[in-house]
Amino acid sequence: MRQTVLSDSIEAARRRFFDSGSTPHGLVPETILASWRRCLESGLVATARPTNAPMERHALGEMQERHEALRRLCRPELEALYASANQAGSIVVLTAPDGFILDALGDADFLDKAARVSLRPGVPWSEAATGTNAIGTALVERRAVEVRGGEHYHARHRVLSCSASPIFDPHGRVAGVLDVSGHASVHHLHALGMVQLAVEQIEHRLFECDFDGADIVRIQPDPALLGTTREGMLVFEGHRLVAANRHALRLLGVDWSELGKCRYDELFASALPTPGNVTSMRCQTGDMVHARRDPPRRRIEVPSTVRASRTVHKAIRPLRAPSNVFDGEQDAAIDRQVRLLDADITVLLQGETGSGKEVVARELHRRSVRSQAPFVAVNCASLPESLIESELFGHLPGAFTGARREGAPGLLREAHGGVLFLDELGDMPLSLQSRLLRVLQEREVTPLGGGHAHSIDVRVVAATHRNLLQAAERGEFRADLYYRVAQSVLHLPPLREHRDVAGTVRRLWTALGAEQIPMHLSAEAVACMAASSWPGNVRELVGVLRSLMALGSVGATLGIDDLPDSLRRRLPAPPSTALKAGEQAGSLQHLEAHAIDQALAACHGNMAAAARQLGISRSTLYRRLEARQQGGE
């Protein structure tokens, strides 16, 4: 009903604005109205088909290469949002600072629909090119924007509901835009909050780079929030404010224009804190904050604005799960694989999509003797086939059309001395598998275009969701490459088969920093999540937990009602502890159903615990429940 009323209001606003030329105050947000006016004044015709054809493939490749550092920086958030978007029939979009789409991930069916309205890589979604839309309007407004259905300027885009937020670097420059788009017929209640939380995490990570000779000061009224993405961050050089994040500017009541002008004593009435200590400070506004000044750190060469440096990803790393994310059995298995990796034994991680293969790969690197050396991840499925060879092996200047003028070393050489992670290796084209095998055997790389071979010293971790042995038997994967990378295989079980799903939920909740906010999960909410089948595995669970953090308030305890509707719908029906009237007590089928119901009731819906009590596997328990539901019980 609410969605229908909203649509009627937007349609009435469009009639007034586009047909009558009057101002529809109160029918659409002022942000939308201001955007409509800008588009009309620029000569855009709302009923016309937007002329935003995608750029040529080689031009797209060059653009993605220019913004490779941004793409790598945003990858953890893109994958977390992807888990939620995929389940909700939506897509996640990352754009360059000018609004050109760099990446689009999500539900395959909706990706196809989105492509028909040009919501795909290489297409400009600035307001000037595409009219009112979340990406372009967020760039103009320099803040998070939601544009639903008919609020889009062009009638062709009314099928979309989009939520976007610009990503700011520490100097107030736009580094890109993050967007979640879905079908307008579905009310995407939490999309904007999820996008804003993801952008906070990305912007917070931008401060991992050091500022030469500068003081980094973190401020927050609540000391428990220091060290989280909700802290304010300030950078002073010679007592002059040179960089900040949005939280800090909001707390101090200043804006980006003050950077480079404002001095420390104009912001604070207290002295600069001693490095490493948390202290109370009075702002010039009279407000009190808690502050911590970072101790001097080794300088890491990362530019303040994300530029297309091919080595930036060595310094900017995705958020990594601490060791306590893993249970005792997983921890021991990882330790064993670390010893093998240190001995130059290639490790193959095998598991379903979203089961945490990259998290484990990064943990192997963190525990290895090469923890201080580069960790270079290559997603063999996401790189276009036309670019994967030059990305991996590098190229000489002018080696092919669209090649970089100065050439490129390639990811294999960038991993020299460290760990190379070949993600989704099973999706690498057969034509390149023989060359990769030769590199892994000879440890030499020859760039495209010729030239001399370069020796590399790497440890290799590979990962795939496919059964590579079966693929090799079918001729879909080189058998000799399989035996080269599968020297040691670690199988990662899907989340539904974890021994203690509730424990995994709690460990991830802690690892994501919720307890530092603080924010808590009720026992009922944890049990509810433990009983879910989690088709998206750990990636989906992390997306749900981040959504809860984005929507929860400080000090809150979140219950079942706070969980997403899509998650609650997947739960098995509440168990009954008694046989239905008329059922034969001696029937084997009903005795089994009765035993399952009693076990679920005794374990408060915890599927893992119920399965252990019944002496069966979780997968068997799921199959029995699904069979009952299909049979109408």
Domains of the chain: 32-194 (3.30.450.40), 215-293 (no CATH), 320-492 (3.40.50.300), 495-569 (1.10.8.60)
The yes-or-no verdict on residue 399 having pLDDT over 60 is no
Is the distance from CB of 320 to CB of 366 less than 8 angstroms? yes
Residues 6+ apart with CB under 8 A from 106: 82, 85, 86, 90, 91, 92
Q: How far apart are CA 38 and CA 171, in angstroms?
A: 27
Residue 213's pLDDT band (cuts 50, 70, 90): low
Q: How far apart are CA 124 and CA 484, in angstroms?
A: 43
Helix (H) or strand (E) holding 520: strand 520-521
The yes-or-no verdict on residue 304 having pLDDT over 50 is no
DSSP-based helix, strand, coil % in the chain, nearest 5: 45, 15, 40
- Mean pLDDT across 274-279: 83
3-class secondary-structure state, position 512: coil
Whole-structure pTM value: 0.53
The yes-or-no verdict on residue 177 having pLDDT over 90 is yes
Looking at the chain, the whole-number percentage of residues with pLDDT higher than 70 is 80
**Residue 583 per-residue DSSP state:** -
The yes-or-no verdict on residue 51 having pLDDT over 70 is yes
Q: What is the CA 622 to chain-centroid distance, rounded?
A: 29
3-class secondary-structure state, position 36: helix
Q: What is the CA 477 to chain-centroid distance, rounded?
A: 29
Least confident of 130-134, 227-231, 316-320, 327-331: 316-320
The pLDDT, as a whole number, for residue 313 is: 31
* Residue 245 Rama label (left phi>0; alpha psi -120 to 50; beta): beta
- Mean pLDDT across 461-471: 93
The pLDDT, as a whole number, for residue 383 is: 62
Helix (H) or strand (E) holding 460: strand 459-464
Cis peptide before 303 (omega within 30 of 0): no
Residue 406's pLDDT band (cuts 50, 70, 90): low
The yes-or-no verdict on residue 387 having pLDDT over 70 is no
The pLDDT, as a whole number, for residue 232 is: 92
Residue 633's pLDDT band (cuts 50, 70, 90): very low
The yes-or-no verdict on residue 612 having pLDDT over 80 is no
Reported in sequence order, the residue ranges of 185-244 that DSSP labels E, i.e. its strands, are: 215-220, 232-237, 240-244
Other CB atoms within a 10 A radius of the CB of residue 591 amount to: 14
3-class secondary-structure state, position 419: strand
- Mean pLDDT across 487-511: 90
Q: What is the dihedral of CA 484, 487, 491, 492, to 10 degrees?
A: -80
Cis peptide before 518 (omega within 30 of 0): yes
The yes-or-no verdict on residue 578 having pLDDT over 50 is no
The pLDDT, as a whole number, for residue 591 is: 63
The pLDDT, as a whole number, for residue 38 is: 94
The pLDDT, as a whole number, for residue 315 is: 29
For residues 618 and 518, the model is more confident at 518
Q: How far apart are CA 597 and CA 198, in angstroms?
A: 40
- Closest by CA position to 377, among listed 337, 316, 420, 342: 420
Helix axes 57-66, 385-393, angle to 10 degrees: 40
Is the distance from CB of 101 to CB of 64 less than 8 angstroms? no
Which single residue is written with the structure tokens 């995608």? Answer: 54
Q: Report the largest interatomic distance among the alpha carbons of the chain, rounded to a whole angstrom.
A: 84
The pLDDT, as a whole number, for residue 301 is: 39
- Mean pLDDT across 446-450: 74
- Cα-trace Rg, the chain: 27
Q: How far apart are CA 495 and CA 533, in angstroms?
A: 8
- Mean pLDDT across 548-563: 83
- Mean pLDDT across 130-156: 93
Q: How far apart are CA 204 and CA 420, in angstroms?
A: 26
Q: What DSSP letter does each residue of 411-461 carry, written as one string?
A: HHHHTTTSEEEEETGGGS-HHHHHHHHHHHHH-EE--BT----EE---EEE
For residues 197 and 591, the model is more confident at 197
Which single residue is written with the structure tokens 């670019």? Answer: 387
Phi and psi at residue 379, to the nearest 5°: -90, 105
The pLDDT, as a whole number, for residue 311 is: 30
The yes-or-no verdict on residue 590 having pLDDT over 80 is no
- Closest by CA position to 194, among listed 621, 613, 545, 497: 545
Q: How far apart are CA 324 and CA 448, in angstroms?
A: 43
First and final C-alpha spacing in the chain:
32
- Closest by CA position to 140, among listed 97, 198, 202: 97
The pLDDT, as a whole number, for residue 431 is: 78
The pLDDT, as a whole number, for residue 480 is: 92
Q: How far apart are CA 190 and CA 548, in angstroms?
A: 9
Alpha-helical segments (H) within 15-67 = 30-41, 57-66
- Mean pLDDT across 564-586: 56
- Mean pLDDT across 182-196: 80
Q: What is the dihedral of CA 113, 118, 120, 121, to 10 degrees?
A: 170
**Residue 487 per-residue DSSP state:** S
- Mean pLDDT across 255-280: 87
Least confident of 96-110, 333-347, 464-478, 599-613: 599-613
Determine the residue type at 364.
Answer: L
Mean pLDDT of the chain: 81
Residue 588's pLDDT band (cuts 50, 70, 90): low
Other CB atoms within a 10 A radius of the CB of residue 488 amount to: 17
Q: How far apart are CA 136 and CA 119, in angstroms?
A: 12
The yes-or-no verdict on residue 302 having pLDDT over 60 is no
Q: What DSSP letter does each residue of 105-130 carry, written as one string?
A: EE-HHHHHHHHHTT-STT-B--HHHH
Q: How far apart are CA 627 and CA 453, in angstroms?
A: 59
3-class secondary-structure state, position 569: helix
Q: How far apart are CA 271 and CA 264, in angstroms?
A: 9
The yes-or-no verdict on residue 27 having pLDDT over 60 is yes
Q: How far apart are CA 560 and CA 65, in angstroms?
A: 44
Least confident of 24-28, 140-144, 233-237, 568-572: 568-572
Residue 209's pLDDT band (cuts 50, 70, 90): low
3-class secondary-structure state, position 184: coil
- The tokens of 115 are what? 């492509």
The yes-or-no verdict on residue 632 having pLDDT over 50 is no
Q: How far apart are CA 357 and CA 129, in angstroms?
A: 39
Sign of the alpha-carbon dihedral angle for 579, 584, 590, 594: positive
**Residue 367 per-residue DSSP state:** H
For residues 36 and 378, the model is more confident at 36
